[in-house]
């Protein structure tokens, strides 16, 4: 590969986060007419954001596969997230992305309000993981600032989706059904959720039970009950770390 081609690749890698961030930020305040482009940008955001975060941390000598007890050299840093908690965090993020996809793809006026609120609750869990990630790397923020770009963009997208769905619900002259569901409890919940302005608050109420269900599922899959906590604390060198690793060996 020529030096010119390598330079173009580097410039593209630097420009793409800025372009995505600017696009996603504007989406909070305006409705894009080109929905296809919007969905493409939203899909690219977590894919490229995750890839670039991994590449950047490797460039900054963060050893993603080295636990807190491993011996490192010179300026190397241990993994910011404990390997044993990857499955837990991965499933939570996957459920959050799935909730955002369902909420985006469905006609909110033909969907039971309870489904919309549960999708928002799933998105909240994803965003909570992003907050914890940001707190974890903030003590190295002078070097790890690019690692905060993905969480920031996911917040932009989440706010945009919630705002748009509330707007769509309120602008409809009539909804598909005044009562959704055959179960009496479900119908009562849907009637209580007819005011879309309260959906974000209801989503907070549903987020904790949803997290509990996910953790029970993960325990059945062999994860430790406290894997969600250990994912951040069973580390060293980072903000939420509670372990003390061996001192790095320095050599030329």
Residue 244 predicted with pLDDT over 60: yes
CA distances from 56 to 48, 81, 149, 162, 199 (A): 12, 15, 12, 31, 37
Better-scored residue on pLDDT, 3 or 28: 28
What are 126-176's pLDDT values in tens digits? Answer: 999 999 999 999 988 777 888 999 999 999 999 999 999 999 998 877 665
68, 211 contact by CB (below 8 A): no
- Residue listed under structure tokens 């959720």: 193
What pLDDT score does 1 carry?
47
Neighbours of 206 (CB within 10 A): 17
Q: Give the domain ranges of the chain.
A: 19-233
In the numeric block, which tokens belong to residue 140?
């190295």
CA-nearest of 156, 129, 142 to 17 is 156
What are 175-218's pLDDT values in tens digits? Answer: 655 556 667 888 888 888 888 899 999 999 999 999 999 999 99
What are 171-180's pLDDT values in tens digits? Answer: 877 665 555 6
What pLDDT score does 2 carry?
56
In the numeric block, which tokens belong to residue 177?
């059904």
210, 92 contact by CB (below 8 A): no
Better-scored residue on pLDDT, 93 or 1: 93
What are 75-117's pLDDT values in tens digits? Answer: 889 999 999 999 999 999 999 999 999 999 988 888 889 999 9
What distance in Å separates the CA atoms of residue 155 and residue 127, rounded to the nearest whole number? 7
What are 11-40's pLDDT values in tens digits? Answer: 666 678 888 999 999 989 888 888 899 999
First to last CA, the chain: 30
What are 43-56's pLDDT values in tens digits? Answer: 999 999 998 899 88
What pLDDT score does 25 carry?
93
CA-nearest of 9, 94, 108 to 55 is 9
E strand segments, the chain: none
């Amino acid at each position: 590969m020529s030096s010119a081609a390598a330079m173009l690749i580097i410039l593209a890698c630097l420009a793409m986060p800025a372009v995505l961030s600017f696009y996603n930020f504007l989406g909070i305040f305006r409705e894009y007419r080109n929905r296809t482009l919007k969905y493409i940008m939203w899909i690219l955001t977590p894919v490229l954001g995750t890839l670039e975060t991994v590449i950047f941390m490797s460039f900054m000598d963060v050893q993603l596969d080295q636990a807190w007890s491993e011996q490192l050299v010179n300026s190397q840093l241990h993994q910011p997230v404990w390997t044993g908690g990857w499955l837990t965090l991965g499933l939570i993020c996957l459920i959050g992305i799935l909730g955002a996809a369902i909420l985006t793809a469905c006609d909110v006026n033909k969907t039971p309000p309870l489904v919309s609120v549960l999708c928002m609750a799933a998105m909240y869990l994803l965003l909570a993981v992003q907050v914890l990630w940001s707190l974890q790397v903030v003590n190295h923020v002078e070097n790890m600032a690019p690692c905060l770009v993905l969480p920031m963009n996911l917040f932009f997208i989440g706010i945009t989706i919630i705002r748009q769905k509330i707007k769509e619900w309120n602008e409809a002259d009539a909804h598909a059904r005044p009562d959704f569901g055959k179960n009496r409890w479900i119908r009562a919940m849907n009637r209580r959720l007819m005011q879309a302005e309260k959906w974000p608050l209801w989503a907070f109420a549903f987020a904790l039970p949803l997290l509990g269900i996910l953790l029970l599922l993960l325990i059945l899959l062999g994860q430790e009950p406290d894997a969600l906590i250990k994912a951040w604390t069973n580390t060293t060198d980072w903000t939420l770390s509670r372990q003390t690793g061996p001192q790095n060996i320095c050599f030329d």
